[in-house]
Amino acid sequence: MDISLLLKITGVGLLISIACQVLSKNGRDEQATLLSIAGIIIVMVLIITELDKLFSLLSRVFGF
């Protein structure tokens, strides 16, 4: 695992949390909820990509 993955996840989290706070203060709670769900999906895609790389490496090492 590379440090860049952690920095990407942190950056997405910070941007999403700031945007959610701004939307909530303006009375757009539904859009803030949808934005937080979109942030979770983005982070999950990043993690799934890294897991795919890990499983590919394991299959090459063990010859699956």
Could you tell me the CA-to-CA distances from 13 to 2, 9, 23, 33, 60 in Å, in that order?
A: 18, 6, 15, 14, 33
Q: Collect the ranges in the chain with pLDDT lower than 50.
A: none
pLDDT given for residue 1 in this prediction: 61
User: What are phi and psi for residue 45, nearest 5 degrees?
Assistant: -65, -40
Predicted TM-score (pTM) of the model is 0.81
